[in-house]
Amino acid sequence: MNKRLFLQALIKFICGILLVGLLVFLPAGTLSFFGGWLFIGTLFIPIFIMGIVMMFKSPELLEKRLNAKEKEKEQNLVVKLSGLMFLGGFVVAGLDFRFGWLPLPEWVSIVAAVCFLLSYLIYAEVMRENAYLSRTIEVQEGQTVVDTGLYGIVRHPMYSATLILFLAIPLILGSLYSFLIFLCYPFIIAKRIRNEEELLQKELKGYAEYKNKVKYRLIPFIW
């Protein structure tokens, strides 16, 4: 096992828990926030498991995802908009719990957590199908078009999984107001997909034919 990579992944993992914890529990004004703990569990336990699996089975992919940085200027804007969405959504969810603006019942949080975990399974399958999967928009050396499995249904199944993931987050946190903020995500990801497809069509051989074969980008029969 690569000890340097393990330490890097562990530090990022711990920092992620601390950051999310602060953004959720600090506005809530208490640690007695069921939705907050449920979200942290459903988010970070699968991340930990996937990290361990990648550490032993595909350390190169893990390192690539840990150190990924966007090179495309337009994608930097997408990343910043997503960051603002998360910041606003987490803070509003915490405040919603603190002041009881419009709380959702606990069963909504539990159902949303199940959807969140199911979307993780989709995400894991996408990673299994596509060895070139990256956090950044790029065409890698030797990359080929993947057109089977989930890629035979929509062109961007990873983003389909993240759409479910992100829209489930505010519901796990039990906040309808936060959900309204997270509704920005479909528009943000649509912008990313358009820019990504422009690059792939220019630089990835066979992608234009793939677009003709698989008509839908994100959601079957819709878009």
Length in residues, the chain: 223
Answer positive or negative: Cα dihedral of 103, 107, 172, 115: negative
pLDDT tens, position by position, 111-168: 999 999 999 888 888 877 776 665 555 555 667 788 788 888 898 898 999 999 999 9
Instruction: Look at the chain and report how many structural domains it folds into.
Output: 1
Beta carbons of 168 and 183 less than 8 angstroms apart: no
Residue 218 lies in a domain: no
Domain region containing 9: 3-213
pTM of the entire predicted model: 0.86
Residue 143 lies in a domain: yes
Which carries the bigger pLDDT value, residue 76 or residue 25? 25
pLDDT of res. 103: 85
Q: What is the CATH number of the domain that holds 63?
A: 1.20.120.1630
Report the alpha-carbon distance of residue 157 to residue 161 in Å, rounded.
Answer: 6
